[in-house]
Amino acid sequence: SGMFYSASKLSWALAAAAVCSLCKLACAKKFLQFDPLSKEDVDRSIADELSSNVNKGRFMEIEQKLRVVYSALPKNEHGRLNHQAVRYVLHRFFVQQHGWYIRGLEPNGVAQSPSSTGTPAPLKDWVAAYIQERFEESSDAKGINLRNLVALAATLEDLIRREASLEMKEVYSILGFSTTDRIPREEAEEAINAYMMIYLTNRNVSLSSHNDVVRKLGIFRRKYKNWAEADAFMKGIEDRHGGLTNSAGVDFNTTADIVADMGEHFGAFNDGECKDLKSAMGAMTSSSGKVGRIRLHEFYNKSLHTHWKFTERADFLRELGALDESGTQPSVIIPNYLSAFTNCLKATSLYAVCCRNECEDLIGHLERRIAAPTAPPEMIADIVSALPSDTVAAPRRLPESLLRRLSQMAASNNGEVHLHGRLFAQWMHHAFPMECPYPHEAGTTSPQTAAEWMERTGSEAHVSEEEMRKVVEDACAADGSGEASAEVEPELPWTDAEELLTAAQPGKPEAVKSRRWAAWVLAPLLLGLGWLAVERLEVVPQQKQMLRKVLLFAFLLVLFYAMDLLDVPLLAVLVLALVALGAFHHASTHSLPLAAKTKDCC
């Protein structure tokens, strides 16, 4: 399913189906299988951001946005973020700033690596983890500081803009337009609209020629009900670039910048659709008794009798983390469903556009007020009681159950509550059940598309109309016979399992591990060979004694490095100082009078 809901969700499906039915796969460009970026592009972007040759203004803008959450997050023993915390903050940053869900940035996710032989893994599956590993290597596994965090975010943004440019170049090639010469405004608009069609169809379109683009774009405009809104959105982006009014024509860089900016702002455009979906789901919660929950049969019933298409299978919803089975009847967790991957638009090979997690805005308010990873329960209660949301009015008096649980969390942590742990996320879900997702325990859910789930399980991710009717009829029969309680079930589920960002130490990149293992093996070997060489030297005893000291000191330095007590830069400085000391001693010894040199051996 696409991310455009209501009639727009249905119109997207109809438009995509109509366009795909005309695809000539033999010679057409299949954008769904098109990964324009290579590992070399990724390495080049990393090198650019690690160097001093960066856009200072843009760097400072990203730093300003990340500084608050960085200050509030727990740090490791080096005062930096560990591996899991980096994923957490970057995931939050991109979802909140652009609505981008980048695969590999899930705090508990496992990503692949680029393959050097055979068929390479898809870019989306490894690029974020690969970039993070490279930055961690540059810090010698001590964690990521604010500057590196900003550079990491900027690298991903650079790659996404570069991907948009390369994909636009492919569109130009199919249309037969030049990327080196200016083209008329009409042709530039045609190229931008073609890119927009690719973007809005989950990239599930194949294009082979100019005529093919014109034909499929015409079908898409007719079938996609929200084309007028999308077209107006694009015109707004064009206006930010001065429009396409240059009488001399439009150059490629202008159109590439326009589509890149469109991707950066599309999440805000999509917020309206997300709010419509949230409102429609919120209207179905009254009979369940649990705020933020819809009974599964009512979820399906809405699909049977309205334009909404709520058709996800229960097993699929469970893996997405959107199914609550704690009550007498299974129910759909609204904030978890809203942010689920099934409702995202797979816009490019690097990211999908998803509904923003409204809870992050609430957590962000707490982080700005507290500016620390922990806080006393009284302080948190005061802030939250005055904090409104889209569905919760403020100020309000927090229920005693919430205050009690807050105190229980603090009691197990020296009177302080961790702001970035699972228990506090669960507490926020109880405080704002329509905005904050329920935090499942790590490893119990899996963000994935319907196609990925079907490929892995061999089962359809969506139920048929007949299956939905059966679920609805069975639920109604059970309610009528008294087999299932129709009473209100106000209590939301709660478990005491805690998971903190600092629970696991940052994993050392493989290259760092290899270097330290080599140091353990080579240190005694080099000491033995060096000692042998010194003993065979025909030099005065004073020089031999000095060389032995240098060898022993070098051996200790390498051991300290192997034990992770020294990093590479400090090790290099100490070794250079040792070499300089040895050279100075050698020079001073050779400058002594002959009598002085031979005194000890006479």
**Interval 476-496: pLDDT, tens:** 877 665 444 444 556 789 999
- 388 versus 206: the higher-pLDDT residue is 388
Q: Which of 281-285, 384-388, 507-511 has the lowest mean pLDDT?
A: 507-511
- 10 versus 312: the higher-pLDDT residue is 312
Give the pLDDT confidence score for residue 197 in this predicted structure: 92
Is pLDDT of 465 > 60? yes
Mean pLDDT of 38-54: 75
* Cα separation values, 231 from 18, 194, 219, 246, 266, Å: 20, 12, 15, 20, 12
- 578 versus 499: the higher-pLDDT residue is 499
Give the pLDDT confidence score for residue 104 in this predicted structure: 80
Give the pLDDT confidence score for residue 578 in this predicted structure: 63
* Cα separation values, 572 from 141, 576, 584, Å: 17, 6, 18
Give the pLDDT confidence score for residue 590 in this predicted structure: 53
- 365 versus 501: the higher-pLDDT residue is 365
Task: Quickly state the pLDDT bin for 296 (edges 50, 70, 90).
Answer: very high
Alpha carbon distance 127, 156 (integer Å): 9
Give the pLDDT confidence score for residue 463 in this predicted structure: 92
Q: Which of 19-23, 50-54, 148-152, 399-403 has the lowest mean pLDDT?
A: 19-23
Q: Where are the domains of the chain?
A: 27-112+120-165, 284-357+444-463, 358-431, 517-570
Closest CA to 128 of 153, 99, 92: 153
Phi, psi of 78 (to 5 degrees): -95, 5
| 3-state secondary structure string across 95-162 | HHHHCEEECCCCCCCCCCCCCCCCCCCCHHHHHHHHHHHHHHHHCCCCCECHHHHHHHHHHHHHHHHH
Task: Quickly state the pLDDT bin for 153 (edges 50, 70, 90).
Answer: very high
DSSP reduced 3-state for 413: coil
CB 130 within 8 A of CB 155: no
Task: Quickly state the pLDDT bin for 288 (edges 50, 70, 90).
Answer: low
Is pLDDT of 506 > 60? no
Strands 331-333 and 323-324: antiparallel
Give the pLDDT confidence score for residue 145 in this predicted structure: 92
358-431 maps to which CATH number? 1.10.238
Q: Which of 203-212, 400-409, 444-453 has the lowest mean pLDDT?
A: 444-453
Alpha carbon distance 470, 345 (integer Å): 30
Mean pLDDT of 214-221: 92
Task: Quickly state the pLDDT bin for 8 (edges 50, 70, 90).
Answer: very low
Percentage of the chain surpassing pLDDT 70? 76
Give the pLDDT confidence score for residue 40 in this predicted structure: 81
Give the pLDDT confidence score for residue 30 in this predicted structure: 54
Give the pLDDT confidence score for residue 265 in this predicted structure: 94
Task: Quickly state the pLDDT bin for 599 (edges 50, 70, 90).
Answer: very low
Output the average pLDDT for the chain: 81
**Interval 334-382: pLDDT, tens:** 999 998 888 888 888 888 999 989 999 999 999 999 999 999 999 999 9
The segment with the largest mean pLDDT, out of 71-80, 531-540, 564-573, is 71-80
Give the pLDDT confidence score for residue 225 in this predicted structure: 81
CB 251 within 8 A of CB 245: no
Is pLDDT of 68 > 60? yes
Give the pLDDT confidence score for residue 369 in this predicted structure: 94
Mean pLDDT of 37-56: 75
